[in-house]
Amino acid sequence: MRAQPRPRKLRMRQSKVWISIFIILLIALHSVPVLSASLRKRMWPILDWAMYKDSRGPGPIDAKKKRVIGVTANGSKEEVTPYLLGSSSFAMQNLYVVPMFRKDSAAAQRLLQRLNLRREDPFVELHVESETYTVTDSGIVKQENPVLIYRASPSPSR
C-alpha cells in the first residue's frame, strides 16, 4: 500500500507556517539586545542611542579641507580630482588622500602611477594642501597647514 501524496494546498499551508515561524523568530531576536544590557551597546539592530555613540563634549569643532595638487614635468599645476583619477571621491580619499595626509609615501607613488598611465605630460610631484577650520563661540578660525610634498620616484631602467 502506497502513501497518498499530500495535496498541494496542504503543502502550501505548511510552507507558509514555516515562513511565519521564521519571521516571528527573527523579530523575537531583535529583543535580545533590549533585554541584555551588555549586548545592547554593541549589537545590531538596536544600539543604545546609536546617533550619540561617538558624541563629544563641548568645545571647539575642527574640520579639515584637503586637496591634492599635481605638478607636471613642464611645471604646470592641476588639481587632482576624482574625475581626473577615474574614481569616486570616496575611493580617492580612502586609498590616496588620507594615507598621504598621514605621510604614507607609498600611497603617493600609487596615485602618481595611476595618474600617469596615459598622460603625455606626467605628474612629477603631488602637493597635499590642507586647512583646518575651527568653529568656536566667537566664529570660524582658518589655519593653513604645512604642505606635504611627494615626488615621483625614478622609474626603474628597462
Per residue of the chain (158 residues), what is the pLDDT tens digit?
566 666 666 677 888 889 999 999 988 877 766 676 665 555 555 455 556 556 667 777 888 899 999 999 899 999 999 999 888 999 999 999 999 999 999 999 999 999 998 889 999 999 999 999 998 888 889 999 999 999 988 765 44
Please give the pLDDT value at position 115: 92
77: three-class secondary structure by DSSP: strand
**Any residues with CB less than 8 A from the CB of 70 and at least 6 apart, and which?**
77, 78, 79, 80, 115, 123, 125, 126, 127
Assess contact for 101 and 149: CB atoms under 8 A.
no
CA dist., res. 21 & res. 107, Å (int): 51
Please give the pLDDT value at position 144: 93
69: which strand partners?
A: 79, 127
Boundaries of every domain in the chain: 9-49, 61-151
Measured over the CA atoms of residue 119, residue 66, residue 97 and residue 124, the dihedral's sign is positive
Per the omega criterion (within 30 degrees of 0), is the bond before 45 cis?
A: yes
Assess contact for 153 and 109: CB atoms under 8 A.
yes
Q: How many residues does the chain have?
A: 158
DSSP state of 94: I
Please give the pLDDT value at position 158: 44
Assess contact for 108 and 100: CB atoms under 8 A.
yes
Please give the pLDDT value at position 157: 44
82: three-class secondary structure by DSSP: helix
